[in-house]
Chains A and B, each alone.
Chain A
Amino acid sequence: MSSKLTTAIDYFLPIKFEKEPENKRKARIVIFIFLFTCLSILAIWISSLNLENTNNFPFPIALGFTTLSAFAFKKTGSFHLSGHLLGLLVFFFLFPITIETGGLYSDDTLWLLLGPVLAFFAGNKWTGLIWSIILIAGVSYLYSLDISSPESLMKDSLIFDSNYYFTSIVFLFIMILGVIFIYENEKTKLVGELGSKRNELQKQNTLLETEVKKRTVSLEESNEQLKRSNADLEQFAYVASHDLQEPLRMVGNFVQLLEEEYSDKIDDEGKSYINFAVDGVSRMSLLIEELLQYSQLGKKGLEIIHFDLNTVVHQKTKDLSLLIKSKKAECVIQDLPRINGIPGQIGILFYNLINNALKFNTSDKPKIQISYRENSSHWIFSVADNGIGIANEYKEHIFELFKRLHRKEEYSGTGIGLSMCKKIINHHKGEIWFDSKENVGTTFHFSILKNLQEKN
């Protein structure tokens, strides 16, 4: 094929074949045949113009429509549109001939069936359906014409009388078959492509699944590791508290025993040294104990249960009764509700707050008030005292671990108590805060989530 002809043919190629060399080649052949046939028929038509056949107008229509179909096909790549054009072509081409050659009784009537068939093959089932309906309408129209003397007309059947009409039909078939062939080919290819895409997807899926499995395994591993190190930590806390206490006790006890048994040989200065030693030991012991308690706050297996807060708070005031008596303090406790929480921890919380209220109190008549209120989601408890108060500048720091605001000679303590309270309140999905005025008193407030989930 010369390059000029190729360019001419390529002009009619659907755009979507650009990326498919195989289909492009096939489509080229079809269009070549189409162009060749068009030109041949044009030549026959021109040469037969001076013949006596006057009824030759359907041919230019046929030529026009097929060319239009080719253009539509190129521009849109749509078989759908081509289907409609071909259906339209058949009706424009054959319907007038059918009327002329005897209406319902004409041989050409049967050819009308070509309309829906072409529309179906070139387009889809919907274009086929539309042209079937048009065919029924057309046939109904032919019936309504009521041509009563078919015999005379039948002899003039144009399709078989005229060479170029017949050739037109043949060429049309070639064109349509070509289009259908390419279409089918494309469809198969598409299905194949879809299949390979699906395979790829499946491969990816499998890959993803293995990846997920791998991740799950590593997650389980690190979970296991975490459990182990948690257990290690608990073991460590126990060993620390236990084994650190042991030598400490020996030091404390024997220094005291020394003082008792050899008091006549030790002078007052020596005895004051002993006091320092004993004091240091007991502070260290308290520190260890509270650290242990602090470290065990997060321990697993602590169950959230529904319990009566009154019992817990009264137990704690009983534990503190010696201090309460020595301070001549008064405790006013409102009737408290039943709440969801970890009783042991809530006990530690109240113990620390009441203990602080007593400890940091220089009033002649210390007074502690415990009360509560509630909102829709939380219980809010308050522990108020008339103690020394907390200076505003320390507001931010008092919940920090080991934070002490006073010299230990003034007020004893380890600086763990309030950080423990904070941790406990965190476990109970609440907050802890305070109002204070120096030398007037402090009120600690804390909230506890009402519907903490019971775990048992």
Chain B
Amino acid sequence: MGLPIEILLVEDNEGDIILTKKAFEKGKIMNRLHVVRNGVNALDFLYQRNGYEQSSRPDLILLDLNMPKMNGQEVLENIKADENLKTIPVIVLTTSNADEDILKSYKLQASSYIRKPVDFKQFGQVIQTLQDYWFTIVKFPLKE
């Protein structure tokens, strides 16, 4: 397999960051996980500014909804409003079904939702399924 897949994780909870890293480590596919801890930094990363000049365009964004400064919803709105960025698939991480309800009510164009699991084994399976689905089945829009 060629280049590792670039993944941007937007998440403020240290615990979840560790768990996601662990889950991806166990994955079969080579990947590079970049972590930003709030919405503002996420946009800085995507626009390669304010200290993120060296960042590369991610193939996939994992986005938490509840974050300080700028929440996931606003980040998602920003991404979908940008002609260049809107082709990047965004997977929203939700804590509860209630979050999904909110997302649906805002009709944001997230590519999919993942419920953050209570069970780590289950979480590992979810990440595995996600990798299989996004990196082997779905054909990504070509990078410009």
Tell me the A residues contacting B by CB distance below 8 Å. Answer: 237-238, 241-242, 245-246, 248-250, 252-254, 256-257, 260, 278, 281-282, 285, 289, 292-293
Contact = CB atoms under 8 A, between A and B. Distances in A.
Contact of A254 (B15, B95, B99): B15
Contact of A238 (B98, B118, B123): B98
A253 to B, nearest CB: 4
Contacts of B52: none
Binding site secondary structure of chain B: helix
Contacts of B99: 242
Contacts of B95: 242, 245-246, 249
B118 A253 contact: yes
B117 interface: yes
Nearest to A249: B118
Nearest to B99: A242
Contact of B15 (A238, A253, A281, A282): A253
Nearest to B94: A242
B98 A257 contact: no
Contacts of A281: 118
A278 B117 CA distance: 12
Given A249-B117, A253-B119, A289 B19 contact: no
Interface residues of B, number: 19
Interface string B95-133: 111110000000000000000111111010000000000
B63 to A, nearest CB: 16
A304 B96 CA distance: 25
Contacts of A246: 13, 95
Contacts of A293: 97
30 contacts: A237-B98, A238-B96, A238-B98, A241-B97, A242-B96, A242-B99, A245-B95, A245-B96, A246-B95, A248-B118, A249-B95, A249-B117, A249-B118, A252-B118, A252-B119, A252-B120, A253-B19, A253-B117, A253-B119, A253-B120, A253-B123, A254-B15, A254-B120, A256-B119, A256-B121, A257-B22, A281-B118, A282-B118, A282-B119, A292-B98
A362 B3 CA distance: 52
Contacts of B119: 252-253, 256, 278, 282
A241 B98 contact: yes
Interface in B45-86: 66
Contacts of A250: 15
Given A250-B15, A253-B15, A260 B98 contact: no
Contacts of B118: 245, 248-249, 252-253, 281-282, 285
Contacts of B96: 238, 241-242, 245, 289, 292
B105 to A, nearest CB: 10
A343 B119 CA distance: 30
Nearest to B26: A260
A391 to B, nearest CB: 33
B98 A242 contact: yes
A437 B90 CA distance: 52
Contacts of B116: 249
Nearest to B19: A253
6 smallest CB-CB distances across A and B, nearest first, come from A256-B120, A253-B120, A252-B118, A285-B118, A250-B15, A241-B96
Contacts of B13: 246
By CB atoms of chain B within 10 A, which of A245, A253, A278 has the most?
A253
A132 to B, nearest CB: 87
A245 B119 CA distance: 12
B19 A257 contact: yes
A284 to B, nearest CB: 8
A247 to B, nearest CB: 9
